[in-house]
Amino acid sequence: MMLGGKYRFSERLAQFAAVELSSAVDTTTGREVSLERLPLSAAIPNALHKLQARLAAAQRARHDDLLAVLDSFEYAGALYVVTERVSGESLAARL
């Protein structure tokens, strides 16, 4: 399944409250990425605008200790946030 015109869905990784985390491949670069899916029905209407502004700011931020936000888009009633994929054990497993 293709999402956002260039992300090929790989697998669902986890569910956190209303957010679903999946892996995908950016078909333009071949890079593995993570997709966070938030149903728009779960978002507070006024908060959605603030979230989109924060995402735009996060896309401009660059630092070794920050997870890179690569893209965001709306599709089929949900907001998707595309981030770099980080390998290794989960924070839950580490704690």
Mean pLDDT of all residues in 88-95: 72
Phi, psi of 13 (to 5 degrees): -100, -40
The pLDDT value recorded for residue 35 is 93
Residue 6 — pLDDT band, cuts 50, 70, 90? very high
With a cut of 80, say whether residue 2 has pLDDT above it.
Answer: yes
pLDDT digits (tens, 9 = 90+) for 55-74: 788 778 887 777 888 898 98
Task: Pick the closest to residue 42 from 14, 66, 3, 16 (CA basis).
Answer: 16
Instruction: DSSP letter for 43, please.
Output: S
Predicted local distance difference test score (pLDDT) of residue 46: 65
Provide the residue type at 35 as one letter: L
Q: State pLDDT tens for residues 27-39.
A: 999 999 999 898 8
